[in-house]
A and B are shown apart, each in its own frame.
Chain A
Amino acid sequence: MARRVLVLGGGTGGTLAANRLRRVLGPRDEITVVDADDRHLYQPGLLFVPFGLASPSRLVRSRAAQLRPGVTFVESAVDRVDLDADTVVLADGTTMSYDVLVVASGSRLLPDETEGLTGAGWGRRVHTFYTLGGAAVLGGALATFEGGRIVVNLVDLPVKCPVAPLEFCFLADWYLRRRGIRARTQLTLVTPLDGAFTKPGCNRMLSGLLGDKGVEVVTEFATAAVDGEQGRLVSYDERTVPFDTAVMVPVHGGAAYVGRSPGLGDPMGFVPTDPGTLQAKAKPNVFVIGDATDLRASKAGSVAHFEGEVLVHNVRRLLAGQEPDARFDGHTNCFIETGFGRALLIDFNDALDPVPGRFPGPVGLPLLKESRLNHLGKLAFEQLYWHAILPGRDIPFIESAMPAAGKRCDTTERTPELVGGPR
């Protein structure tokens, strides 16, 4: 009998899940991807736009064109999911039924959660590079920047790519030096965490780099308001940080329809998800991938990629009447651009923090260490993204389960509990 799999969201997770499912399910099984628009954005490219290192128009491709033949694309916003009826109601009232639902609708920016963020000065001295339009506008502002205080502020966690605000600082340092105005510019990272990054080993390394590059770090700052007129950030405990230009990473939440779907999401619109099987806690025939989950794993494309293999295996078992038995281990991998043509690479999972060594094996890219090779790896990744990650191909030597070979695990320390993250 033909089964119907409905995938909500045609971003990284939804696209690779649909393409992987198409390969393993029977030809009569229907796979449909629903998204509100047909613009697939290569999000890792956003970081480079403000510095003139990437052109905005080249980062967008058709969502439909990334799907394998046999996957149907429906361009429509979603109104809600009815978990009891196993149906999705589209914005125009059309109802679509499913045997398995894959929630892959990512996260969205909620700048209005922070008082004043989009008020006076928005787009002039208050910016974000987390949208394509915002990144381009910030690029224009930086091009005419002549010195002063630049503040990079992470309002709250979780955010997409938690290293991006740090990378922005590293690249801004490089950019301002190249323009000869670094000495006249104070660069400050303002974070709600008690350090630059969430993982201790990494935090030491990255804090050292920020120090070397003269980036000041203000920690445990819970942003209550952005005052674009006066040029200052105000925290809930009434501290202030002045700025001439603020680069904001707004609060993130899940897709709006999640909030309109009784029982599906948490108060922020993320979907409570079993960290092993990737099933929604609300119902066994609902799976969740990528940024849409409430998992502790980073909101990053690599996580969606590693989840893909687990999710597809479990969807197939569920459709065959078997218990989902694959388990995601929290595997995350990311390049951290550090400026001057160099980058770091980190690789970790729920159980093991980032350690030095090489990836994916003893002869590989250096881990937790700046290198030219990692920068080239980051640039090469764009091609890998469109031609291997989205089509849902397994990448040789890089599997869902985190590799241990090549890692110097004796140097590890386990994060006992996150310090400073949640308040």
Chain B
Amino acid sequence: MTTTTLAGAEVALDDEGFFCDPHQWSEAMAAEIAAGEGITSLTERHWQVITFMRHEYEEKGAAPNVRALSKASGVPIKELYQLFPKGPAKLAAKIAGVPKPHGCI
């Protein structure tokens, strides 16, 4: 676990940069986290996904994976990859300040 300063506030992140406590997140921090991941500007469409991620996490206690994210948010998987390159669910979760989505074994 590491502590860092985002938008003037101290937050705790895990080894991979995900929030340990989603309550520490605020909208003002999103752009800074995104920039660190190579996303220079957050569009309205990005925000739609980020807001949805927060909502899903609050409702269900876990972030969805990319296929579930696409199905539930209505944003096609292809577009999710354009918005959040490499790993949309992981990246959107990180920017939204929620823990990493769980996988399956």
Contacts and interface: CB of A to CB of B under 8 A. Distances in A.
B86 A296 contact: no
B90 A423 contact: yes
Given A251-B67, A267-B64, A423-B66, A418 B81 contact: no
B81 A222 contact: yes
Interface stretch (A19-27, A155-163, A307-315): A155-163
A169 interface: no
Interface centre among A222, A237, A268, A423 (most CB of B within 10 A): A423
Given A198-B103, A199-B105, A267 B68 contact: yes
A24 B31 CA distance: 58
Interface in A283-321: 296-299
A251 B67 CA distance: 10
A224 interface: yes
B72 A267 contact: yes
Interface in B63-83: 64-68, 71-72, 77-78, 81
A266 B15 contact: no
Contacts of B104: 157-158, 162, 198, 296, 298-299, 418, 421
Nearest to B99: A417
Interface residues of B, number: 25
Interface residues on A, range: 20 to 34
B102 interface: yes
A422 interface: yes
Nearest to B77: A236
Interface in A147-166: 156-158, 162
Interface string B81-93: 1000111111000
Interface string A399-423: 0000000000000000011101111
A268 B64 CA distance: 11
A417 B85 CA distance: 21
A268 B103 contact: no
B101 interface: yes
A149 to B, nearest CB: 25
B16 A417 contact: yes
A6 B68 CA distance: 29
A421 B100 CA distance: 11
B85 to A, nearest CB: 7
Contacts of A299: 104
Nearest to B81: A236
A156 B15 contact: no
Chief secondary structure at chain A's binding surface:
loop
A120 B25 CA distance: 48
Interface string B19-39: 000000000000000000000
Contacts, number: 70
A110 to B, nearest CB: 10
B100 A422 contact: yes
Contacts of B65: 421-423
Contacts of A220: 86
Contacts of B81: 222, 236-237
B70 to A, nearest CB: 8
Contacts of A416: 15
Interface in A243-295: 251, 266-268, 272
A157 B104 CA distance: 6
Contacts of A162: 104-105
B91 to A, nearest CB: 9
Nearest to A268: B68
Contacts of A272: 60
A157 B40 CA distance: 30
B71 A422 contact: no
A368 to B, nearest CB: 16
Contacts of A236: 77-78, 81
A82 B20 CA distance: 38
Contacts of B60: 272
Interface of A: 113, 156-158, 162, 198-199, 220, 222, 224, 236-237, 251, 266-268, 272, 296-299, 332, 416-418, 420-423
- Among all A-B residue pairs, the 4 with the closest Cβ atoms: A421-B103, A418-B103, A158-B104, A267-B71
12 contacts: A157-B104, A162-B105, A198-B105, A220-B86, A222-B66, A224-B78, A237-B85, A296-B102, A418-B103, A422-B90, A423-B66, A423-B87
